[in-house]
Amino acid sequence: MNKTPTIIKLLLAVILVLGILMVQQPPMATAEIAKQEVPTNLVHIDITYDPGTKSYSMGGFSAEELRQVGAPQFQDEIWQILSMLDNVTLKIQGDTINVLTNDQQLLSLAWDAASRDILYSLLNATIELGDIDMARAEDWLDNADIEITLRQSKELSQPLKISLGTLVQVQVAKNGELSVEGFPTGYSLTPETVELINAANIENLKLCWNKGVIDLQVNGQTLPQATLYQGGLSVIDKAFGLNLGDLTPIFDSSFGAGLVIGEADPVTGECMP
Amino acid sequence: MPRFWRVLLISIIIVLVLYGIYFALGRPVIPLPTISYKVSPGQPLHAIITSDGADELKLTLNTSGKIEIASEKQSVVALNYTPETFGNTLDLGERLLIAQKTVQSDGDVPESSPFLRKLINWVISYYYYVIRFRLSVLLTALP
Q: Does B104 touch chain A (CB under 8 A)?
A: no
| Amino acid letter, residue A125 | A
Q: Does A229 touch chain B (CB under 8 A)?
A: yes
A244: helix, strand or coil? coil
Q: What is the reported pLDDT for A191?
A: 87
Cβ-proximal residues to A158 (8 Å cutoff; 6+ apart), any chain: A44, A46, A59, A60
Torsion of CA B46, B48, B52, B55, to 10 degrees: -30
Q: How many residues in chain A?
A: 273
Q: Which helix (H) or strand (E) holds A232?
A: helix A230-240
Would residue B55 be called left, alpha or beta, if left means φ above 0 and alpha means ψ between -120 and 50 degrees? left
Q: Which residues of A touch B13 (CB under 8 A)?
A: 7, 10-11, 14
* B109 pLDDT above the threshold of 70: no
Torsion of CA A101, A107, A113, A117, to 10 degrees: -110
Closest approach of A209 to chain B, Cα-based (Å): 14
**A21 and B24 in contact by Cβ < 8 A?**
yes
Q: Which residues pair with B135 in a beta bridge?
A: B61
Q: By mean pLDDT, which of A66-80, A233-247, B10-24, B26-40 is the weakest?
A: A233-247
ipTM higher than threshold 0.90 = no
Cβ-proximal residues to A242 (8 Å cutoff; 6+ apart), any chain: A236
Tens-digit pLDDT string for chain A (273 aa) = 455 566 666 667 766 666 665 555 444 444 444 444 555 788 899 999 998 888 899 888 888 888 877 788 888 888 888 888 888 899 988 788 889 888 788 888 888 878 887 877 777 777 665 555 777 777 788 778 889 999 999 898 988 888 888 888 899 988 888 888 888 888 888 888 888 888 888 999 999 999 999 999 999 899 999 999 988 887 778 777 777 777 888 888 889 999 998 877 788 877 765
The alpha carbon of residue A153 and the mean position of all alpha carbons in its chain are separated, in whole angstroms, by 28
Torsion of CA A236, A237, A238, A239, to 10 degrees: 40
E-only strand ranges, B23-132: 30-31, 35-39, 56-62, 66-71, 75-80
Alpha helices in B59-113, H assignment, sequence order = 83-104
**A192 and B103 in contact by Cβ < 8 A?**
yes
Q: Does B21 touch chain A (CB under 8 A)?
A: no
Q: Does A13 touch chain B (CB under 8 A)?
A: no
Q: Which residues of B touch A1 (CB under 8 A)?
A: none
Closest approach of B35 to chain A, Cα-based (Å): 22
> Rounded to an integer, what distance in angstroms lies between the CA atom of residue A211 and that of residue B81?
19
The alpha carbon of residue B86 and the mean position of all alpha carbons in its chain are separated, in whole angstroms, by 11
Would residue A250 be called left, alpha or beta, if left means φ above 0 and alpha means ψ between -120 and 50 degrees? alpha
Q: What is the reported pLDDT for B92?
A: 92
**Of B76, B41, B82, nearest in space to B59 by CA:** B76
A144: helix, strand or coil? strand
Q: What is the reported pLDDT for A27?
A: 46
Mean predicted confidence (pLDDT) in B95-118? 79
Q: Does A24 touch chain B (CB under 8 A)?
A: no
Across the interface, of B19, B47, B85, the residue whose CB is closest to A224 is B85
**A229 and B75 in contact by Cβ < 8 A?**
yes
